[in-house]
Structure 1
Amino acid sequence: MAGAEPTFYTAMRTKDVLEAYARWAPVYDLVFGPILKSSRKAAVAALPPDAGRVLEVGVGTGVSLPDYPRHMRVVGIDLSASMLARARARAKREGLTHVEGLIEMDASRLAFPDDSFDVAMAMYVMTVVPDPAGTMAEMRRVVRPGGRVLAVSHFASDAPARRALSSALSPLARLMGWNTTISASRLAAVPGFRLVSDRAVGIFGFHRLLEFEVVK
């Protein structure tokens, strides 16, 4: 229908994600570690200083784990067993005692009780998960009222021309495990959140860091 609102996203399949990250796991740190370092550190620096328990959704190889303040207790989850194996090896090798657990889990079906965390962190995840809206809803559920959800990624533009280009590139991006159709405005529209800040981070401001307050 002419003028209709665009769909929330072009769906990624769990199979696509698992296959992509099984391929990336051996070289992920080498390829993406340096490129994403500045935006990763900006995301950790944005954590509330009094946060006690933090959930990192899509922890991957655990490259971010050494960046967290040691007074915080960090639980990381990921759907990829290949990536988690490297995260666990890193935590053991580097003596990261603030890491409470690294668990294979679907981000849209979190196996934690309500209000279990002060903060949920999603680094380069919301453009990868098969169900972004479901993942946002689950993070809202497990973070206490007044807590924070932080998301950093390269989000699709809301400008029509750039949005059309993102959609056209979606099949190629899917092979890389990246959904080009997720926009920051769509995440902000998920019920139960108040957008606190939205700022450019990383090299040339390529990524955006979104901070939400959980409202229940």
Structure 2
Amino acid sequence: MKGQEWYQADDVAEEYDDKRFSQGGELIDQREKEAVLEAIAPLEDKDVLEIACGTGRFTVMLAARGANVVGLDISAAMLQRGRQKAQHVDVSGNLDFLRGDAGRLPFPDDHFDTVVAMRFFHLADDPEGFLREMRRVSRDQIVFDTFNRFSSRSIYNWALPMGSRLYSKSEVSVLLAKTELKLEAVEDDFIVPYGFYRSVPNVFASPIRRLDSLVGTLPITDHLSSVSYWNTSVR
């Protein structure tokens, strides 16, 4: 995993949500949660694994909606933040946090209905191996996102503390074929880069987001979108 030492630092975990999902970053948080919920609903009694769960943004949300969730992450500091969030929500009995490596998942085959990995695929050293591990422990569905090669993300990617691996649609399609996953749906979004939204107050970011969403509905702009949300099933 790229940037592993940086990611596990206590100060990074403490500031993670505020730096990425405050101000206009709230719009990113809302859209990502919407993408996950749309992909895996209904949630009641569904067994879900979230890989690289971080501070529990999705883990706690899914558990609060009735899923049985395990959140796995390599960072003890991130997991602690997730546990703190869970204390404020009624998720007793259907949420566990576990420290572990995404490349060697500590679960038997076909253990979960759904496996989710958001904000991680771009850091995977071995994307095919990572997908194979996800597929191994899932009996039904895998949901993940990628940052796109031909988007504005490529402009500032070099400045990020751990960089990102960017993918074209064809590259992801090849990975899905190699790992025998069936594409059910893919959505593209955010022509305006994430960094912009995080740097301005929501009152200014919101109208830009509305324009971004409108332009993003045009077929010609698909390849310019920063991120793609992939919903796949086990064949």
TM-score range, shorter chain: 0.7 to 0.9
- Aligned residues of 1:76 and 1:101 also touching (Cα < 8 A): yes
SS of equivalent to 1:97: coil
Following TM superposition, by how much is the alpha carbon of 1:171 offset from its aligned partner in structure 2, in angstroms? Answer: 4.4
The residue aligned with 1:186 is 171
Q: Which amino acid aligns with 2:180?
A: G
Q: Which amino acid aligns with 1:155?
A: N
Structure 1 CA distance, aligned partners of 2:94 and 2:87? 10
Following TM superposition, by how much is the alpha carbon of 1:139 offset from its aligned partner in structure 2, in angstroms? Answer: 0.4
- Aligned residues of 1:44 and 1:67 also touching (Cα < 8 A): no
Q: Which amino acid aligns with 1:154?
A: F
- Aligned residues of 1:71 and 1:98 also touching (Cα < 8 A): no
1:129 equivalent in alignment to 2:146: no
SS of equivalent to 2:121: coil
Structure 2: segments with no counterpart, 5+ residues: 191-208, 214-225
- Aligned residues of 2:144 and 2:229 also touching (Cα < 8 A): yes
Which sits farther off after the overlay, 131-140 or 36-45? 36-45
- Aligned residues of 1:43 and 1:152 also touching (Cα < 8 A): no
TM-score by length of 1: 0.77
- Return the match for 2:29 from 31, 36, 45: 36
SS of equivalent to 1:26: helix
Q: 1:55-94, aligned counterparts within 5 Å? A: 55-68=49-62, 70-94=65-89
Following TM superposition, by how much is the alpha carbon of 1:20 offset from its aligned partner in structure 2, in angstroms? Answer: 3.5
SS of equivalent to 1:25: helix
Structure 2 CA distance, aligned partners of 1:188 and 1:17? 27
Q: Which amino acid aligns with 1:25?
A: A
Following TM superposition, by how much is the alpha carbon of 1:45 offset from its aligned partner in structure 2, in angstroms? Answer: 2.5
The residue aligned with 1:197 is 185
- Aligned residues of 1:115 and 1:141 also touching (Cα < 8 A): yes
The residue aligned with 2:230 is 210
Which sits farther off after the overlay, 132-141 or 187-196? 187-196
SS of equivalent to 1:136: helix
- Aligned residues of 2:146 and 2:227 also touching (Cα < 8 A): yes
- Aligned residues of 2:146 and 2:167 also touching (Cα < 8 A): no
Following TM superposition, by how much is the alpha carbon of 1:46 offset from its aligned partner in structure 2, in angstroms? Answer: 1.7
Structure 1 CA distance, aligned partners of 2:107 and 2:124? 18
- Aligned residues of 2:60 and 2:95 also touching (Cα < 8 A): no
Structure 2 CA distance, aligned partners of 1:193 and 1:170? 28
Following TM superposition, by how much is the alpha carbon of 1:184 offset from its aligned partner in structure 2, in angstroms? Answer: 4.3
The residue aligned with 1:7 is none
The residue aligned with 1:47 is 40
The residue aligned with 2:193 is none
The aligned length equals: 192
Structure 2 CA distance, aligned partners of 1:196 and 1:46? 9
SS of equivalent to 1:127: helix
SS of equivalent to 1:106: coil
Give the direction of change, closer, same or farther, for the CA distance of 1:200–1:132 in structure 2 (3 Å limit).
same
Which sits farther off after the overlay, 199-208 or 95-104? 199-208
Give the direction of change, closer, same or farther, for the CA distance of 1:178–1:48 in structure 2 (3 Å limit).
farther
Q: Percent identity?
A: 28
1:24 equivalent in alignment to 2:9: no
Following TM superposition, by how much is the alpha carbon of 1:64 offset from its aligned partner in structure 2, in angstroms? Answer: 1.9
Deviation by residue 1:44-96 (Cα, 9 ceiling, x = unmatched): 23204266100111110012234225321011101111111111121123232
